[in-house]
């Protein structure tokens, strides 16, 4: 289960989010546009002035509501840099990370990036952020300056190869994880499923993917959206109850109130229904839930992130786990979040070494040809990463996910793994 | 048997509609109680000094954060948490009056809007500096089991909020009839005349800010266990609480509770009926309709004074 995206911390009072999102997008676009114009004279090309190191600028929340998520990115990247440097670096050069606090704020991210790109010491790669909110805002600037970027944004808006040819995301595509979900539900004989999704880019992507994949697998979904800071979901759940669905799916619910709000709402309504947690629900929601709320629920997670999974026998996973444990002994987010940033540097290394260059166009082209896990040393997330010229997010097959009935507790913060019922 | 079929049908109707509806009613009343409690605190300064204190919801936010700190780090019992929050809130209320109100003198005009907003920003800034912008999950009550009540189901914290809103309202209505309450009303209607009648208007003003601050901060932990704690609570509460006050009637404690409960009920009922994109629009339309028909709100002052 990977981090929810695009949380918004400004109002929980059921404000018309789409209007606000449009306004935010408009402001962000205007700022992005002005910065691009300002940067027109800044030249292009991603050559760093420091030839002894591979310079990676990391833009991540180091304060604000997603600071603990920022910690996962920092831990994953630091662990990856240490592993890579111990193995000889990238093109014989050590990876050097520079962390900057984007405060989960698009405008702050743009300002920091603008300064970095117009300096003499331009980074070779930018880690573009942990959610779509900050990532989408800086993609035009990165493209303008032809700088390679990787991040963990879930929204396809951040990884459109036509618009942003040098941008990649390690986050699985919604169509992949929701396809696996629809297939699983279908195999369970479920044809009518209610879904509570977050009112965010992640939620929107999940809704689109569930609708299309549901049609393919014969599962009909009905949706209700929940704001990141909603305080009561009784009405939304009641609306879903009216059509007597066979199961309830929670997707993209964040670390704030929503997960608890939904589970409390279920209790209030006395709604005893098979419940599924999706790939993008926050782990803290499971940690804060009571035993009665967790028992019997089924969770979708990255296969390597479930305790006891065969995928944990992969040597690359073991190296990753050990390196991340050294950086972050207690994990507020599930291990698959740390894997996103960790994998970004592994992909950079594979692409740069294949291209024998750190120039963004060459590296991006090389990454597009990385199809199998053997092409990317250190990759363990999926059987085959499957990047392509029209595909800048990794490809996840149904076998890359696992569905498990959660035990209680359902999560172990030391290992960062979900705990199935039998454990 | 037709009789058994009919019973099954009525059971189904009850389960599907009435049972669910009552649960939504409880949830709406609980959310409305949050608005009502904030409105009651706002109304203390409004009815005793004539000042709409934009920083008032921020006192509640402060109480929530302090309550979280006292519970999670110090393991303090509930009663002590509420007392400490109340004392702190009273002190901060006193500071606000001395720093943001008193310097404006007797003819404040619209300057109080600026200074109270400024105090709210400062308070939020202080909270961010100490607690950061992280949201905190906060459960004041151990029990999270829903209770069956009047055909619906309600969480204990929801029930506490509803009872609390009505109790606080009753206390404030009684307080309004005391010497202090009457002095406040007189000072609000005409401070010069009140002074001539021997009322210490400055003391009444200070007292109102201390009382409102103490009450709001003491309520913070209880409200926080319903809505969670984060640094945006204050600003978020201002808008819908203002709507609740406008619907119920500025200056009326009973109106505060009525407006708050109507706002909460309307919000959740319209979500249930039309989906989550409509409540705010319908709420604003309702507010406009109320203000057109009764510009002073449902229970606001019924006549305008001609001068």
3-class SS of residue B178:
coil
pLDDT confidence of residue B9: 58
pLDDT confidence of residue B132: 77
For residues A168 and A178, membership in a common domain is answered with: no
* Conformation bin of residue B35: beta by default, left when phi > 0, alpha when psi is -120 to 50: alpha
For residues A192 and A143, membership in a common domain is answered with: no
pLDDT confidence of residue A8: 37
Q: Are the Cβ atoms of B279 and A14 closer than 8 angstroms?
A: yes
Lowest mean pLDDT among A13-17, A39-43, A70-74: A13-17
- Domain positions in chain B: 28-293
- Choose the CATH number for B28-293 among 1.10.3470, 3.10.450, 3.40.50, 3.30.70: 1.10.3470
For residue B19, what is the DSSP state? I
For residues A299 and A329, membership in a common domain is answered with: no
A237 CB neighbours in chain B (<8 A) are none
pLDDT confidence of residue A254: 65
Q: Are the Cβ atoms of B280 and A14 closer than 8 angstroms?
A: yes
pLDDT confidence of residue A63: 80
ipTM: 0.80
Of B23, B134, B275, the CB nearest to A268: B23
Q: Are the Cβ atoms of A267 and B145 closer than 8 angstroms?
A: yes
What are the backbone angles phi and psi of residue A159, rounded to the nearest 5°? -130, 30
Q: Are the Cβ atoms of A238 and B269 closer than 8 angstroms?
A: no
Give a yes or no: residue A412 inside a domain.
yes
Query: Min CA distance, B201 vs chain A (Å)?
Result: 37
For residues A131 and A211, membership in a common domain is answered with: no
Residue with the bigger pLDDT between B233 and A357: it is: A357
Distance CA A54, CA A123 (A): 8
Interface subset of A 9-38, CB within 8 angstroms of B: 9-16, 18
pLDDT confidence of residue A2: 47
Give a yes or no: residue A132 inside a domain.
yes
B30 CB neighbours in chain A (<8 A) are 232
pLDDT in tens, chain B (307 residues): 556 666 665 655 555 555 568 899 999 999 999 999 999 999 999 988 889 999 999 999 999 999 999 998 888 998 999 999 999 999 999 999 999 999 988 777 788 889 999 999 999 999 988 887 777 777 776 666 888 888 888 989 899 999 999 999 999 999 988 888 888 888 877 888 888 888 888 899 999 999 999 999 999 999 988 888 888 888 888 889 999 999 999 989 999 999 999 999 999 999 988 888 888 899 999 999 999 999 889 998 655 444 4
B137 CB neighbours in chain A (<8 A) are 256-257, 260, 284, 288
CATH number of the domain to which A232 belongs? 3.40.50.2300
Distance CA A347, CA A167 (A): 12
Given a cut of 80, is residue A26 above it in pLDDT? no
In tens, the pLDDT along A306-343 reads 999 999 999 999 999 999 999 999 998 899 999 999 99
The domain in which residue A210 lies consists of 174-308+400-420
Element containing residue B179 per DSSP (H, E): helix B179-189
Given a cut of 50, is residue A38 above it in pLDDT? no
Q: Note whether A64 contacts B: Cβ–Cβ < 8 A.
A: yes
For residues A265 and A186, membership in a common domain is answered with: yes
For residues A183 and A234, membership in a common domain is answered with: yes
pLDDT confidence of residue A18: 41
Give a yes or no: residue A146 inside a domain.
yes
Given a cut of 70, is residue A406 above it in pLDDT? yes
In tens, the pLDDT along A241-282 reads 989 999 999 998 865 557 888 998 998 888 999 999 999 887
In tens, the pLDDT along A366-393 reads 999 999 889 999 999 998 888 888 889 9
Residue with the bigger pLDDT between A7 and A418: it is: A418
For residues A97 and A237, membership in a common domain is answered with: no
Q: Are the Cβ atoms of B137 and A64 closer than 8 angstroms?
A: no
For residues A179 and A287, membership in a common domain is answered with: yes
For residues A40 and A30, membership in a common domain is answered with: yes
pLDDT confidence of residue B183: 86
A290 CB neighbours in chain B (<8 A) are 144
Q: What is the mean pLDDT of chain A?
A: 86
For residues A57 and A153, membership in a common domain is answered with: yes
pLDDT confidence of residue B7: 60
Helices and strands of chain B, counted as H and E runs: 12, 2
Give a yes or no: residue A373 inside a domain.
yes
Given a cut of 50, is residue A7 above it in pLDDT? no
Interface test with A, best of B143, B227, B238 (most A CBs within 10 A): B227
For residues A164 and A186, membership in a common domain is answered with: no
Q: Are the Cβ atoms of B23 and A234 closer than 8 angstroms?
A: yes
Q: Based on the structure, what is the number of domains in chain A?
A: 2
pLDDT confidence of residue B84: 97
Query: Min CA distance, B242 vs chain A (Å)?
Result: 13
Given a cut of 70, is residue A23 above it in pLDDT? no
For residues A284 and A356, membership in a common domain is answered with: no
Query: CB–CB of A201/A156 below 8 Å?
Result: no
Give a yes or no: residue A3 inside a domain.
no
Helix B253-274 and helix B20-49: axis angle, to 10°? 150
């Amino acid at each position: 289960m990977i981090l929810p995206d695009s949380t918004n911390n400004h109002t929980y009072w059921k404000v018309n989010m789409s209007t606000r999102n449009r306004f935010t997008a408009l402001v962000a676009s205007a700022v992005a546009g002005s910065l691009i114009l300002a940067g027109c004279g800044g030249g292009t090309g991603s050559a760093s002035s420091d030839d002894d190191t591979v310079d990676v600028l990391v833009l991540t929340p180091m304060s604000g509501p997603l600071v603990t998520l920022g910690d996962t990115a920092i831990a994953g990247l630091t662990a990856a840099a240490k592993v890579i440097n111990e193995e000889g670096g990238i093109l014989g050069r050590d990876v050097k990370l520079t962390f900057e606090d984007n405060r989960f704020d698009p405008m702050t991210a743009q300002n920091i990036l603008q300064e970095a790109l117009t300096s003499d010491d331009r980074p070779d790669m930018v880690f573009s952020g942990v959610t779509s909110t900050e990532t989408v805002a800086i993609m035009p600037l990165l493209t303008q300056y032809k700088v390679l970027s990787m991040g963990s944004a879930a929204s396809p808006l951040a990884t459109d190869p036509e618009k942003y040819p040098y941008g990649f995301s390690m986050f699985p595509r919604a169509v992949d994880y929701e396809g696996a979900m629809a297939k699983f539900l279908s195999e369970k004989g479920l044809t009518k499923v209610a879904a509570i999704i977050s009112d965010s880019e992640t939620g929107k992507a999940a809704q689109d993917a569930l609708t299309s994949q549901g049609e393919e697998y014969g599962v009909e979904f009905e949706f209700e959206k929940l704001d990141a800071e909603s305080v009561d979901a009784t009405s939304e759940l009641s609306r879903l109850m009216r059509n007597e669905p066979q199961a309830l799916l929670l997707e993209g619910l964040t670390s704030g109130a929503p997960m608890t709000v939904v589970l409390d709402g279920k209790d209030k309504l006395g709604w005893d229904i098979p419940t599924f947690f999706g790939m993008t629900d926050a782990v803290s929601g499971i940690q804060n839930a009571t035993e009665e709320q967790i028992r019997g629920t089924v969770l979708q997670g990255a296969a390597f992130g479930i305790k006891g999974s065969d995928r944990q026998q992969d040597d690359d996973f073991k190296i990753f786990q050990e390196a991340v444990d050294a950086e972050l002994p207690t994990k507020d987010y599930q291990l698959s979040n740390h894997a996103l940033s960790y994998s970004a540097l592994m992909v950079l290394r594979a692409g740069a070494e294949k291209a024998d260059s750190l120039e963004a166009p060459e590296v991006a082209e090389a990454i597009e040809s990385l199809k199998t896990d053997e092409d990317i040393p250190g990759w363990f997330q999926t059987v085959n990463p499957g990047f392509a010229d029209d595909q800048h997010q990794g490809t996840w097959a149904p076998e890359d996910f696992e569905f498990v009935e959660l035990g209680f507790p359902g999560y172990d913060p030391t290992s960062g793994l979900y705990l199935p019922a039998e454990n | 048997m037709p009789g058994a079929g009919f019973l099954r049908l009525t059971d189904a109707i009850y389960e599907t509609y009435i049972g669910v509806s009552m649960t939504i009613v409880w949830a709406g009343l609980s959310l409305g109680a949050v608005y009502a409690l904030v409105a009651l605190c706002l109304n203390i300064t409004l009815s005793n000094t004539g000042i709409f204190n934009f920083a008032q919801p921020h006192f509640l936010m402060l109480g929530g954060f302090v309550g979280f700190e006292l519970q999670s780090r110090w393991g303090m019992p509930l009663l002590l948490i509420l007392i400490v929050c109340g004392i702190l809130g009273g002190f901060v209320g006193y500071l606000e009056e001395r720093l943001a109100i008193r310097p404006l003198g007797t003819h404040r005009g619209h300057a109080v809007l600026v200074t109270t907003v400024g105090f709210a920003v400062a308070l939020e800034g202080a909270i961010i500096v100490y607690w950061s912008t992280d949201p905190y999950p906060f459960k004041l009550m151990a029990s999270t089991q829903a209770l069956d009540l009047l055909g619906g189901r309600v969480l204990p914290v929801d029930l506490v909020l509803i009872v609390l809103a009505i109790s606080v309202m009753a206390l404030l209505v009684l307080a309004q009839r005391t010497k202090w309450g009457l002095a406040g009303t007189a000072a609000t209607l005409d401070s010069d005349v009140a002074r001539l009648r021997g009322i210490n208007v400055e003391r009444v003003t200070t007292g109102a800010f201390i009382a409102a601050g103490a009450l709001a901060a003491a309520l913070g932990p209880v409200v926080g266990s319903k809505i969670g704690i984060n640094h945006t609570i204050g600003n978020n509460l201002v808008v819908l609480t203002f709507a609740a006050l406008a619907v119920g009637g500025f200056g009326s404690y009973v109106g505060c509770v009525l407006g708050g409960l109507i706002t909460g009920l309307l919000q959740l009922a319209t979500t249930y009926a039309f989906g989550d994109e409509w409540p705010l629009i319908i709420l604003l339309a309702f507010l406009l309709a109320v203000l057109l028909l009764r510009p002073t709100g449902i229970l606001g002052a019924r006549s305008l004074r001609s001068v």
